[in-house]
Structure 1
Amino acid sequence: MSTEISAAAQALQRAMSVTRLLDCGMDYADAIALHARTARGEPWDAAAEALAEAQFARAAQAEQAGHRVTARDAQEKAIACLLFAQMAFNDDTPRKRQLYARLSAATRRLAGLSELPVERVELPFNGAQLIGWLVRPAARPARGTVIVFGGQSGWGMAYWPIARQLAARGLATLLAEGPGQGETRLGQRIPVGGDLAAAHRGFGDRVAAAPSLGRGGIWGNSVGGLWAASTAASDPRIAACCVNGALAAPSLLPFRTFVEQAAAMLGSADLDAVAANFVRMRFDARRDRIACPLLVIHGGADPLIQLSDQQPFLDAARPESATLKVWDDGEHTIYNHAAERTAFVCDWFADCLKPAD
């Protein structure tokens, strides 16, 4: 039997490295098994879904036995498997939609198991709804709330581990799925080409509408970092902003996966339209000024983002309120230092958002 890994499997394993799988909450054994099974030729989505099935079975057995903590942990790990199962498809195929719908249903089930209050958020927008998940700390009220955006392929529950760490510090998290992302795109059919500022402001409105959520911060990862910075520049309610591995001036990078994901976000295969949309989203430090504290984090081994790509965000902030943190060997969005990265940023938000005396 040949042990040669197909080019398709290699591409998926590069895009979803073990460090990324672990960062988003996958069990180590599942992460290793996913790479091993796909190396042997098993389709990525089928292997990841099978691993999810095993974790769902563990969750059900534990819940039936009265072991709710074990049930919750297994449910979390199953959700992470489904998150990566749907990433096998860049285009919005029926299979991708089916997997993501199952992920959303599993998240609803997790809300009944978690010790943290979890609420599905549905915000009216252009005749449809923006979707998110509001995760509160066990002790209310929250000391503040962080809106978390993902990028082109990982959204929402990809940042559940981050939400848990923020909750441990008394902070709530709004796991936002903006236009072109997650269920907002796959279920509500809202692409990234509309009024992004209004959509992102809607998540801020949800935080501001609830005094128990405290002041709002925003944390964006990959292209979500661009949206976080743009929102912080346009919405004075944002009290702190973190940008993690983002292009201030995005363009069509010479990678097939990147191009296909960008097209799917826009809902158009017209690459000229995709490129024009990137131009529309550009952050300009001469125009876009960030008044709140800003944290930019960067990985020196990031194959997609150079530090110079993130410099405009720093240029837009006041020098005394801007912080740059670099991991010299950091991968894209610092997957390979996930625990340290998350602790550093969560502590920073806890300091920035703590209520005034």
Structure 2
Amino acid sequence: MNIGVLSVLLLITSCFFTPSSIKQIFSEPEFKNQKANLNLLISNGLSGKLAPQESIKSSKINFKDIPSLLIGGEKALYSYFKIAKERYKDSVLLLDSGDLFKTGSSEIEIQKVISLYKKIGFDAVALSRRDIKELSPFVGEKNFEIPFLLSNVVDIKKMRPLKKNGVIPYKIINKGPFKIGIINITSMKRFRPGLYMEDPILTIIKIKKVFRKKKVDITILMADFDSKCISTLIQIPKAFKDFKKHQLKCPPNDPLYTFIKRIPPTSVDLILTNNKIQAQGFLKNIPIIQTSGEGKYLARVRLNLEPQSKKLDLKRSFILPPILTCNSFFNSTKDCYLGEGETYFSKENARIEIIRKSSYKKIPATYLGKTIPVSDNLVTN
């Protein structure tokens, strides 16, 4: 393509894409109260990252002098979850699917993460095999005062699921007229003497019997597997009814995919995993949710139930685009997205030009109509 033609195309592109026509990517600055029975906000794979990080820039875009904005960090995480609770009130469910701590955490570092999680007020937190390893030297008889779940690790002496330090095998949560049951399974094979890992399928079958007796409407499974299943980042909601169009890509013999083939039909309604890989889609007809972790993204799911049967309404239940935990926005785009590694969307070059033309003006980030505080006060102080 010669230079003249390229110049014309760039001119045409800049005419079509004005600040008013740019759509936010992975941000929701305004509150649009789309009624739902349940709004899920989900984190995973924090790995002890309590400080903000620079936003990632796509290698496929020429950024030149465009500065990165900060994402994540304890202040932002606390604020995004707090705002979700304030906006959605009794219809919000805050979950974390595990891997809270970095490898080789000190006791002080562990306490800071625990302090943050207590202040956020999660409804349930998965205890992963890596979390167990990091906590083991320090736990003693402490009760962490966090709703840690671990379902398929059995205390041989007592012949029952492990219950220690406030850890419980499952949780039933009442939200409005509905009951949500949450299970967490791990694939860890080596434990301390006196403990063993029960087959996750057997665990699910046992707990589902309890859920049926207690008339649980929705079952959420948190699964600790080294899965490499992936999806592209999504910009528009994916309806549960369209699961065939949005299947995840998995390598042969992937442990998560192999596990799902063994699950009894209709056992679980949603699976949350903790690998730091973007995966928002379906395996068979089961929604699978995880993000790249480290507090950078929060996954979102909107669930609606059929009033009479109390089963999931597949037409009105959605995997939503994740939220990037921006500390501030570019004023011209009302987000902080600059691509991610090799991932970028069409029209992004036009977005970059608009950011440049605005002289990179920044404004405080907002979520659901409320400002993300930029105070230097740390949540874990």
TM-score (normalised: structure 1): 0.32
More helix by share: 1
More strand by share: 2
Q: Which of the pair has more CA radius of gyration?
A: 2
Higher relative contact order (CA 8 A, sep 6+): 2
TM-score (normalised: structure 2): 0.30
